[in-house]
Amino acid sequence: MKNTEIELHNIRKAFADGSKKVPVLNGISAKIEKGTLLTIVGPSGSGKSTILSLCNLLQTPDDGEIYVNKQEVRKWNVQELRRYVGIAFQSAPMTKGTVLENLSLPLKLRGETLENPETYLEYVGLSAELLSREAKELSGGQRQRLSLARTLVNNSSVLLLDEVTSALDTKASQGIEELIQRINKERSVTILWVTHDLSQAERVGDETWLIKDGQLVEGAPTKQFFSEPQDERTKDFLNLLRSSL
């Protein structure tokens, strides 16, 4: 039984660069079924982060429609949509204030308090001693973990993860991978995970996309994507990265 969570319908997006418009996404169409763990790979600047930000209306496509849970994003109540589709940003931004304040921000915005902050820190492998520390003073890796934990607080049905382990070592990354896979399997949360780490994309994904030059070059079940890529550009992309290792 198919149950679509996200559908992209011929999405186009360009950004203004001075007076001229630079196209970033050139007509992307795809469906993501509920409970899928999708990994998204592609060269830097190919539009991966842009795709994520369109899914919870932090940006609006110039053309095309995006359906979340069968409803076009612009028809959603914006705040409800952004709680339904949570995002962990590539830059792991923090607000002024402590780790606790940052972690409980999603609930504070609704006038609620977070009962079990330690549990969330534990999920991402951070010590509870950090709770009273200034969040902006954390290391890059710690910020990345805190940012992910904060996103989890909203209990979203869809998670958009943008390079959430890029500042972590192998062991820490694997901890995060296990966490995300558990959330995906146990709560059947749909996950769109952008990563530049190909082995990670292969390890954790059910499905994988290659985004290149603003196009969805190839989208396939992860095993097949890596073992028998169909598109020449996918083969080139995989070969190039593998040979550089």
Ligand X SMILES: Nc1ncnc2c1ncn2[C@@H]1O[C@H](COP(=O)(O)OP(=O)(O)OP(=O)(O)O)[C@@H](O)[C@H]1O
Residues that bind ligand X (CB under 6 A): 15, 24, 42, 44-50, 90
Binding range to another protein, per CB under 8 A, among 34-42, 84-92, 199-207, 229-237: 84-92
CB of 60 to another protein, least distance (A): 5
Q: Does position 226 bind another protein by CB under 8 A?
A: no
Site size with another protein, rule: CB under 8 A = 25
According to DSSP, the β-strands at 85-88 and 158-162 are parallel
CA distances from 208 to 20, 32, 33, 47, 70 (A): 33, 11, 13, 15, 22
From the list another protein, Mg ion, ligand X, none, pick the one residue 58 interacts with, judged by a Cβ distance below 5 to 8 Å according to partner type: another protein
| DSSP conformation letters of 97-140 | SBHHHHHTHHHHTTT---S-HHHHHHHTT--GGGGGSBGGGS-H
CA gap 85, 50 in Å, rounded: 15
Using the structure block, give the residue that is written with the tokens 């940012």.
147
Comparison of 82 and 103: residue with beta carbon closer to ligand X: 82
**What's the token pair of residue 84?**
């339904």
Comparison of 23 and 35: residue with beta carbon closer to ligand X: 23
| Radius of gyration in angstroms for the set of CA atoms belonging to the chain, rounded to a whole number | 18
Q: Pick the binder of Mg ion from 36, 39, 49, 56 (CB under 5 A).
A: 49
Q: Pick the binder of another protein from 93, 122, 127, 185 (CB under 8 A).
A: 93
CA gap 185, 135 in Å, rounded: 30
Comparison of 93 and 221: residue with beta carbon closer to another protein: 93
CB of 90 to another protein, least distance (A): 10
Helix (H, G, I), strand (E, B) or coil at 83: helix
Q: Does position 105 bind another protein by CB under 8 A?
A: yes
CB of 82 to another protein, least distance (A): 5
From the list ligand X, Mg ion, another protein, none, pick the one residue 120 interacts with, judged by a Cβ distance below 5 to 8 Å according to partner type: none
Backbone angles phi, psi at 191, to 5 degrees: -130, 130
Sheet holding 207-212, edge to edge: 85-88, 158-162, 190-194, 37-41, 207-212, 215-221
From the list Mg ion, ligand X, another protein, none, pick the one residue 242 interacts with, judged by a Cβ distance below 5 to 8 Å according to partner type: none
- Residues contributing to the site for another protein (CB under 8 A): 56-60, 74, 78-80, 82-83, 86-87, 89, 91, 93, 95-96, 105-106, 109-110, 150-151, 154
- Residues contributing to the site for Mg ion (CB under 5 A): 49, 90
